[in-house]
A and B are shown apart, each in its own frame.
Chain A
């Protein structure tokens, strides 16, 4: 009959300190989820945590299995009540959070504690599904330290917390080289291994393929970054920063939509002023990519549609980086098809009679399309239209109501009404959506474009000149283009915090932070198969496939493990200063024929040596006494060690 194993985790009870460590880790990893969960589910989770803490503090017994099953059933019902399903990403994560509380309530031994610790790892991972920003990473690092420290606490329950924390930090520090090697060398594959849950990209914001009154102004209240562009050489002036997105052709009286388009052979346009830049595009779950008007080259594996939209092969579901060039003042669509021009004149039957009447009046008084255009622009300039993030609701005649009654709107109202008017006057026109502007970071010269910069403008077709850009918003509100959204809208409107001009003092802090965030996005989060291939070839590994990468990974890991082992043994091999001084002393005596016998203790040896070498007897005795004090007494003080070393050095045997 063997005695129970005292190190077996299933036999060691969880202490109050262990519980505190796990609770701290859980609060760190479940905290961000709590902000996304309905408040009452958050409260339920906190209730479970608090219940466990109270039981531990009162040294009370844990609830029975039946009670726990009842609470588990209640939690399931609560999640189902909230989400009407138990599957999918969000309900799954909420269940995981609730389950952590339930597991705490049945946690008795270190084995259960380890299960909770591993659950924390999963919760860290689920946080990363929502955001992988630097603050999230920092929070998760703190959680990782707490979990590791708790695991160390399981292994060494008697050890002070500080020592365990130091060990946990040391372990994580030692993990970093191997983690870095694995991160760089682990073969990356593109795309998911299996289907994503339906709601995987539910939180993604961005332009859509339709535009109706109100949806751009909604988007414009978001601080979220749409993309960033790093320019080699000159950056474009604010009025040149039109980032082209979906082109909308079809109007049903209220909503503009893309309709049909097709891929065309790419012919680089000619124009003045060339810009070369790299765009880091955030996830938007759509296939289009953004580039300055007008793109003169295409990113790898991207195509161009007939209406000048750049599309990638699949929806952008991970942060994407592409290089592209653009030229300013290019002529496009010089040979537009007749069918497309007819499509660019189509309007729904009836409606908006006042706008149509005005358009007919322009047409009658104009000799050609150019003059119609001029009148339209003049009208928008002089109509006293106001620019607002909170446009009044429009009824059944949106163009008429906007132009003649409410006279306040956002860029979607301006562009929609402008294109409507041109079409009504017989000039082919279409709506172009995208982003206008963006902010230059003075630290790294990178232009950051946010959702708040979402914009819609117009293109009209003139024979012999092709499609030309006209921005009715800029015509009506010149400040929108030159100085951005925040100065263009009326005071007191809810402009995103980061775009407000009055917070100048925050600017340099913010620029530095954003430069860092951009580097983080590019270097860490943007590490994809292409970048891995580039890095490997710059390291001299041509055509790195998964086999060579795995081999490199395995050998690097082996080397790291050996180095770590060598490090720990090297530290062992070197005796402490007290021991070193004593060995030097023994060598000196040994040279005089008084070698220490293996069995001889320091006192006996010193006595024998003192008898043999009476001239140095007192020095020998003093060293022996110092050594015994430093070695076997309480922890040796610095002075004791120095004194011992000094005396050993000073010992001269006759």
Chain B
């Protein structure tokens, strides 16, 4: 029932007191800090009840004092618990792009503008349960990094984040939900396959006839799944037990086209994107210049970090089927 009601976005906005996602810095107003007693709080209340009855029965005036000081401490504890969360300023930081299957690391900047510290704040991602506990000193900035597993390529919104605290007495649990306007770019899960044969690449596009460039041996590096078996240094592997791949400086001269349409027709679109992503990584690693061709999009060959990011972003944001 509740769930069904909350599916209505206007109702939901009214219920939560804000409309997600929220841009910029979100200050947790005390109206959106909820508070209920914990189980410990109920036990505390029961203890006070017994103490009160004892005080009445034995006419212990100091017993009354003890009971009422404890009751006052409980009330003060409730206010302090609210205060530990209220007016905390939350803003979303940049989340570096990740590959699907990895964890997106969302950064939340927590600004404690108060003159007191806020210990034991739990920041928990509602969807995945990713969580972190941190203490904020008075007037300090803190950073909570939530490692949220990325499943699908594309823009991944952070979603709802819960802030919770039980400080100072553990008798009350105060929490508040924030849905910051943060998103993380998720690249397709790269498929570790060898690079397309340059011949095929050459045939596919205007490539220089200069062959693989695998003539000038320049060194060894650790084997990666996408490496061609022809480049494995078998002799070195036999000696050391580690798989090593021969690197050829000549690869720098190669210009590759990574082309959607050249992939086998049996591949699903997502598999195509995965393979292309794997190729981008492999080509970048090999130091080759590579271009990307997708339906309706072409990135001319290049190399280096910005180019790699542009290619992967294009793959990530490729319109789905």
Contacts and interface: CB of A to CB of B under 8 A. Distances in A.
B71 interface: yes
Interface stretch (B40-48, B199-207, B218-226, B265-273): B40-48
A137 interface: yes
Given A110-B170, A156-B167, A175 B76 contact: yes
A562 to B, nearest CB: 9
Interface stretch (B80-88, B184-192, B275-283, B295-303): B80-88
A588 B21 CA distance: 33
Contacts of B114: 571-572
Contacts of B131: 3, 6
A174 B68 contact: no
Contacts of B129: 1-3
A179 interface: yes
B71 A182 contact: yes
Contacts of B65: 137, 179, 183, 524
Contacts of A654: none
A179 B76 CA distance: 11
Given A124-B66, A569-B87, A174 B79 contact: yes
B72 interface: yes
A182 B55 CA distance: 13
A513 interface: no
Interface string B154-173: 00000000001111111001
Tell me if A's interface is mostly helix, strand, loop or mixed.
helix
A110 B43 CA distance: 14
A132 B47 contact: no
Given A3-B131, A156-B167, A163-B117, A568 B83 contact: yes
A318 B59 contact: yes
A313 to B, nearest CB: 15
Interface in B71-130: 71-73, 75-80, 82-83, 86-87, 113-117, 119-120, 122, 129-130
A192 B59 contact: yes
A179 B68 contact: yes
Contacts of B78: 561
Contacts, number: 203
B62 A576 contact: no
Interface in B28-80: 30, 38, 40, 43-44, 47, 50-51, 53-66, 68-73, 75-80
Interface stretch (B133-141, B240-248, B308-316): B133-141
Given A192-B58, A193-B57, A560 B75 contact: yes
Contact of B120 (A7, A124, A128, A576): A7
27 contacts: A5-B122, A7-B122, A9-B170, A114-B40, A121-B66, A122-B50, A125-B66, A129-B58, A144-B70, A148-B169, A155-B119, A158-B120, A174-B72, A174-B76, A175-B73, A175-B76, A178-B71, A179-B69, A193-B53, A193-B56, A318-B59, A525-B61, A564-B79, A565-B82, A568-B79, A568-B80, A576-B113
Given A571-B114, A573-B87, 18 more contacts: A7-B165, A7-B173, A121-B66, A137-B65, A140-B66, A144-B69, A151-B169, A155-B168, A158-B135, A171-B77, A182-B64, A182-B68, A190-B59, A528-B59, A564-B76, A572-B86, A572-B113, A575-B113
Interface of B: 24, 30, 38, 40, 43-44, 47, 50-51, 53-66, 68-73, 75-80, 82-83, 86-87, 113-117, 119-120, 122, 129-131, 133, 135, 137, 139, 141, 164-170, 173
